[in-house]
Structure 1
Amino acid sequence: MPNSLETFIKQDSNMAFIAGGVAGAVSRTVVSPFERVKILLQVQNHTTNSYNNGIFNAIQQVYREESVKGLFRGNGVNCLRIFPYSAVQFVVFEYAKKHLFGVDGAGGSPQQLNNWQRLFSGGLCGGCSVVATYPLDLVRTRLSIQTASLANLKHGRAHNMSRPPGIWHLLRRIYREEGQVVGLYRGVWPTMLCIVPYVALNFAVYEQLKEFMPPQDGTAERYWKDNVFKLSIGAVSGGVAQTLTYPFDLLRRRFQILTMGNNELGFHYTGVWDALKTIGRNEGFRGYYKGLTANLFKVVPSTAVSWLVYEMVCDGIRGM
């Protein structure tokens, strides 16, 4: 590799972008069936539960109705979204560490961010990544439910079920029919309420757990090369962060599909506070966590794989 290109890739921001993007795409593809089922569980209302016999039965139902392609419905746009989404997070986190708080780890420096700095940097990562990729997240959600057997979704589903609408068709239609740019960012507020604290907690918990790793043969560095350890703390950080912020993840999905068809899915919210009250009144406390189990099946391995792939790609680039 030419020295100039090698130097370019090894720059912290570029390395973080490449490693973060690859980590996001790989991790989301691995858990795509759980992601699809989670969204279907989130958007069905309490009167017409079509996917209500457990996670794996729901996956089998999707497979019976739509074959293998159905299990990965929306994954293409999800990878298209997740590469810049994940890449932006890692780039912004590295930028915040170095330029906002003066921590770059150069020369083996032991200096680390404290917990509030980690939370702030992680929250900044989450906000920037949402703004950069939200329209693709909106389209991914719509694609995930277009072909599903939600009995009360008629006008909102594709007219020709053998050829559901594609990414660019949906983007154009939403832009044209739902308020242009405003339509493309429908649901961005509850998404921010979900993603900002989620990413903040994910980064903060992960970085904190790295400091707790026990030394081996007198050097923590050798132990840190253990991939099982990286997977474990990545899984814990993702599980903790998602469980604490899950009600807002449910809200963002519902706001993203409010205008599909003629409001046939039965959700009528005037805002975030109204949605929280309505869900509590109609669906009880469990309504806030509908689909959580499926989400944890997705988030825990996804976050674990994402952190592991990120660390491995970074190590590989540094070793060039």
Structure 2
Amino acid sequence: MATDKEKRSLTWAQITKSLCAGGVAGAVSRTAVAPLERLKILMQVQGNEKMYTGVWQGTSHMFRNDGIRGMFKGNGLNCIRIVPNQAIKFLTYEQLSRKISHHLIDNGGDGQLTPLLRLSAGAAAGVVGMSATYPLDMVRGRITVQEAGNPQYRGLWHATGCIIREEGLLALWRGWLPSVIGVVPYVGLNFGVYETLKDVIIKTWGLRDERDLSIAVRLGCGALAGTMGQTLAYPFDVVRRRLQVSGWSGAKNLHADHGQAVAYRGMMDCFVRTVREEGIQALFKGLAPNYVKVVPSIAIAFVTYEQVKEILGAEIRLSD
């Protein structure tokens, strides 16, 4: 019989393995689609003078102007952000799911989460993970869109210092509100649809548990979940990026108003002005490369997470 101390030690070991798996999943999935991620952001913040018009044209333009290294600009910072973000997000989802499952069992249920409960747990996990690392995302967004030939920021610490000194500490949280609103359907649907699809397939095919699912099936479930979540949340992602570069002179070539960098008063002002000046379609700028990106990105993240956990011997699984 294990003592309480041994049980706590085992629990922390499993949590540590889960955090590591989440971090690896985030780094691998984002690096795999880094050029498309940068293209999406560049398309989101540009105004009516379009430099990037599509996936192929935008990718070619980036390659000609910035080279291979330029196509991955900001990916190092993205990985620094996404490793703790994904680790916290996956762990939060697992812990919330376990708490809800135990509550259902204590009240006479079978402990199985409904699609709505999975979506709610996923949404909460997304808000926690995003909020914990938001300043890194804001700084990464600035570095990603700055001109290659005339960069204002030399790196993470230089950019952070400049932003705080010139715009104030709260500038690091610019765009947080639309991010919170957008992350609820995005991450909620990611987890909810992914877990529900796996559960349906397992029951339909008469399998024992999720370990009997092939990697191809898991990739398909992850891709569908990511596509649904991203479509609903995308306008909020566009507004978030625009608020992050609001009033910043380094973005004026991408988002200009009579030669001056556009400054928004807040989320609703950004929504209204974007639609009024550029049309409703502006809220979906960059959606094409994002679709190309999100399918492999979300799928790779889920599958990598589960595979790394199996390699590490972690007992906590998404479906537990």
Q: Contact between 2:85 and 2:129, CA under 8 Å: does it hold in 1?
A: yes
Q: Which moved more, 1:228-237 or 1:191-200?
A: 191-200
The corresponding residue for 2:96 is 96
The corresponding residue for 2:50 is 49
Closer, same or farther: CA 64–9 of 1 in aligned 2, 3 Å: farther
Closer, same or farther: CA 61–217 of 1 in aligned 2, 3 Å: closer
Q: Which moved more, 1:256-265 or 1:232-241?
A: 256-265
Q: Contact between 1:74 and 1:143, CA under 8 Å: does it hold in 2?
A: yes
151, 167, 174: which one pairs with 2:163? 174
Q: Contact between 1:97 and 1:103, CA under 8 Å: does it hold in 2?
A: no
The corresponding residue for 2:318 is none
Root-mean-square deviation (Å)? 2.5
Q: For residues 169-199 of structure 1, give each alpha carbon's deviation from its aligned partner in whole angstroms, at most 9, with x where no partner exists.
A: 001111221112x111111111111123211
Q: Distance in 2 between matches of 1:294 and 1:247?
A: 15
Amino acid in structure 2 at the alignment position of 1:127: V
Amino acid in structure 2 at the alignment position of 1:115: P
Q: Which moved more, 1:21-30 or 1:94-103?
A: 94-103
Deviation of 1:100 after TM superposition, in Å, equals: 4.2
Establish whether residue 235 from structure 1 lines up as the match of residue 223 from structure 2.
yes
Q: Distance in 1 between matches of 2:90 and 2:281?
A: 33
Q: Secondary structure at the match of 2:154?
A: coil
The corresponding residue for 2:86 is 86
The corresponding residue for 1:153 is none
The corresponding residue for 1:165 is 154
Establish whether residue 312 from structure 1 lines up as the match of residue 307 from structure 2.
yes
The corresponding residue for 2:3 is none
Deviation of 1:147 after TM superposition, in Å, equals: 2.0
Q: For residues 136-187 of structure 1, give each alpha carbon's deviation from its aligned partner in whole angstroms, at most 9, with x where no partner exists.
A: 10111111111258xxxxxxx525xxxx52111001111221112x111111
Closer, same or farther: CA 216–95 of 1 in aligned 2, 3 Å: closer
Establish whether residue 132 from structure 1 lines up as the match of residue 121 from structure 2.
no
Closer, same or farther: CA 215–309 of 1 in aligned 2, 3 Å: same
Deviation of 1:274 after TM superposition, in Å, equals: 2.0
The total of aligned residue pairs comes to: 298
Establish whether residue 67 from structure 1 lines up as the match of residue 62 from structure 2.
no
Q: In structure 1, list runs of 5 or more residues that go unmatched.
A: 150-156
The corresponding residue for 1:272 is 267
Establish whether residue 113 from structure 1 lines up as the match of residue 113 from structure 2.
yes
282, 286, 291: which one pairs with 1:296? 291
Amino acid in structure 1 at the alignment position of 2:45: V
Amino acid in structure 2 at the alignment position of 1:83: V
Deviation of 1:224 after TM superposition, in Å, equals: 3.3
Q: For residues 25-65 of structure 1, give each alpha carbon's deviation from its aligned partner in whole angstroms, at most 9, with x where no partner exists.
A: 0000000000010000001011x21112x212211111111
Report the TM-score when normalising by structure 2.
0.86
Report the TM-score when normalising by structure 1.
0.86
Deviation of 1:10 after TM superposition, in Å, equals: 7.6
Amino acid in structure 2 at the alignment position of 1:114: T
4+ residue segments displaced more than 6 Å: none
19, 23, 41: which one pairs with 1:17? 19
Q: Distance in 2 between matches of 1:103 and 1:231?
A: 31
The corresponding residue for 2:123 is 123
Q: Distance in 1 between matches of 2:284 and 2:182?
A: 13
Closer, same or farther: CA 236–225 of 1 in aligned 2, 3 Å: same
Q: In structure 2, list runs of 5 or more residues that go unmatched.
A: 1-5, 257-261, 316-320
Closer, same or farther: CA 9–170 of 1 in aligned 2, 3 Å: farther
